[in-house]
Chain A
Amino acid sequence: AQSVTQLDSHVSVSEGTPVLLRCNYSSSYSPSLFWYVQHPNKGLQLLLKYTSAATLVKGINGFEAEFKKSETSFHLTKPSAHMSDAAEYFCVVSDRGGADGLTFGKGTHLIIQP
């Protein structure tokens, strides 16, 4: 069985400050992990993915995430927030390579204060 927990439903940061969105997972196998972003009235867009290669993964728009097996975490970070980063972010885990193995987190709403 697999699951993913996004620890914060809302995160608010000031523009230009670092962003941290937390995600913990549980998996019976070696997982693949993804972060998606959803802007208002849009579909989900892939930010980055981890598939058992380098543990530090770089994605689009300056985001990166680090896979930590010992902590079962895959937190998303960005050094400096931009107003355009305001959106909903989803952590996704897959550990069986099947479509029914994809599990989405509940999402974290990122608010950027001017």
Chain B
Amino acid sequence: DAGVIQSPRHEVTEMGQEVTLRCKPISGHDYLFWYRQTMMRGLELLIYFNNNVPIDDSGMPEDRFSAKMPNASFSTLKIQPSEPRDSAVYFCASSLQGTLRQPQHFGDGTRLSIL
């Protein structure tokens, strides 16, 4: 089992640039989640998908953030334009369809630094 795969692991870019984070969920999982982790705010749910359809994006901070899931094996989180306050670790997680009391499986994260 390959687990959830995120890329890149680290990203450093200047403010104003577009940033794209990528995620491959575990094969067969129907739910995909994007989280952001910072020291100040802890772990925050940004958006989640069920069967490739966005269900709840209320955690997305503002219009500069967007997420897509074009197929069951791939998702992107895009920030355009990026700002220094977007610096954080971004995690992708997936889980099996069901009651969602199923545990979520996390990737190793993308550490994003906006200069």
Contact = CB atoms under 8 A, between A and B. Distances in A.
A89 interface: no
A46 interface: yes
Interface size classification for chain B: 20 to 34
Contacts, number: 56
Contacts of B42: 104-107
Contacts of B108: 41-43
15 contacts: A32-B101, A34-B103, A43-B91, A43-B93, A43-B108, A44-B43, A45-B106, A97-B101, A99-B45, A99-B100, A100-B56, A102-B45, A102-B100, A105-B42, A107-B43
B12 interface: no
B25 interface: no
B45 A94 contact: no
A44 B100 contact: no
A94 B101 contact: yes
Given A43-B4, A44-B91, A49-B103, A100 B109 contact: no
Contacts of A90: 43
A114 interface: no
Interface residues of A, number: 23
A94 B56 CA distance: 16
Interface of B: 4, 31, 33, 42-43, 45, 48, 50, 55-56, 58, 91, 93, 99-101, 103-109, 111
Contacts of B45: 99-100, 102
A49 B48 CA distance: 21
B99 to A, nearest CB: 4
